[in-house]
Copies of this chain bind each other. A is one copy, B any other.
């Protein structure tokens, strides 16, 4: 057997592509529109790792998506957690759990999906503005 993807539902595909692709850094691998079923799918993955995808499902008929506690988060390792968090911030994303320790951060997608970021390899030395940044909300 083989892992294919984690599917999440999104209300606004443009906002979601800004988050998952432009801010987080995933690549858009494939997109399909299904006018009959009134939905669109967007498959993204980390560069060089197309076998582990996140599938964004956009149902054209609006629905407000809330979260539940049984699902926790999606986790990605990143090469420079400070650079990733700075890019997320530049796209208007709140860093709910800043990487004060140079190791771990949490943000949320526009639809409240929690994303864990982990510094690849050893933690980075503590650095501002992250080291003194408080938590915001929950994640």
Contact = CB atoms under 8 A, between A and B. Distances in A.
Counting chain B CB atoms within 10 Å of each CB, the highest count among A25, A72, A73 belongs to A72
Nearest to A63: B69
Interface stretch (A29-37, A76-84, A94-102, A125-133): A76-84
Query: Interface residue tally of chain A, by bracket?
Result: 35 or more
A51 interface: yes
A74 interface: yes
A66 B68 CA distance: 5
B1 A72 contact: no
Interface of A: 1-9, 25-26, 45-47, 49, 51-52, 54-55, 57, 63, 65-79, 84, 109, 111-113, 116, 118, 120
